[in-house]
Amino acid sequence: MSGRRNPRLNIPIPARQQTQLYRLPLPPQNTAVSKDVSDLSDLERIQILGHGSGGNVYKVRHRKTSALYALKVIHGNHDEAVRRQIIREMEILKKTESPYIVKCHGIFEKGEEIHFALEFMDGGSLEQRRSDMMSERFLAQVARQVLEGLKYLHRHKIVHRDIKPSNLLINKKQEVKIADFGVSRILSQTLDPCNTYVGTCAYMSPERFDPETYGGRYDGYAGDIWSLGLSLLECYIGHFPFLAAGQKADWPALMCAICYGDPPSPPPTASAHFRSFITCCLHKDARNRWTAAQLLAHPFLLSNSPQAPTIPMQRLTI
């Protein structure tokens, strides 16, 4: 760490590291041990896990191996450019090898539908857990794992651009993984903005809405960090941070609050370390936002045990 200290937070500021470009590691070539799905017909639908304007997600079983997967089905007659873009994004996901990223095991086109066979996460998303009381210790474990995933992606010049509680999945092993690379973002560009902005764009950083105010610079890596900070704070307080509990979203007012208001912060009852961590994520000036690597060395993470907290298993069953 550098000797410089943040005067507001009185904690060391680690030196910002240069991002290096690496080749993405390829998935294993040994088909005998590969979990990739070769044929869509091998997957048997068991139950629906979720649905939205873009499509549905099903729990499926592989007929030959009995392995469980999540099958994401994108509906709609999207034009060829959108379809190619969705598939390109998921091809990136197939090439990633990280325990902190949901694995894509197959991509299939069937008529107007696109199917993705994904790693099955039996605990659902953090959005589904939002009604639970999420302790700082638990959120520290979530933050550590998501930051490891973001560090991997950013090191390989990949920006997620859609970090939010519904895209952070958990399993009964207490593993947290990043999901949904680009699909929600791409689909939101083809739908009515009035129906999609509050769902996804609410997690965008101020400079993405108003780049001129912030020097005309948009840093996708820093944008991911803003979205993570907002997501963690939402999980802590139980509602979207820029809105009061139970308040309905008014998109113009919400956008103004993100761009021109002060960043939200944890309540006074939160620990100093957690308040500091959220502040490091939610700097309005992206240049002052900490990177994933820097945040992994933050006292909030260092002061919490690396052992996963105990959450009742019945709360993690879909």
Are 90 and 181 in contact by the 8 Å Cβ rule? The answer is: yes
DSSP annotation of 37 reads -
Q: Per residue in 274-301, is it b (16+ CB within 10 Å) or e — as a string?
A: bbbbbbbbbbbebeebbbbbbbbebbbb
Q: What is the 3-state secondary structure (H, E, C) of 155-209?
A: HCCCCCCCCCHHHEEECCCCCEEECCCCHHHHHHCCCCHHHHHHHHHHHCCHHHH
> ∠ at Cα 115 (111, 120), nearest 5°?
160
DSSP, res 239: S
State both tokens at 6. 């943040």
Tell me the two tokens of residue 140: 């520290």
Q: Give bridge partners of residue 216 from the DSSP assignment.
A: none
Pairing of strands 55-62, 104-110: unpaired
Is 180 marked active-site? no
Phi, psi dihedrals of residue 170, rounded to the nearest 5°: -135, 155
Residues 39, 79, 122, 162: which is the catalytic one? 162
DSSP for 38-60, please give it.
--GGGEEEEEEEEE-SSEEEEEE
72 annotated to a ligand binding site? yes
Q: Which residues are annotated as a binding site?
A: 72
User: What positions carry a catalytic annotation?
Assistant: 162
- Residues annotated within the binding site for ATP are 72
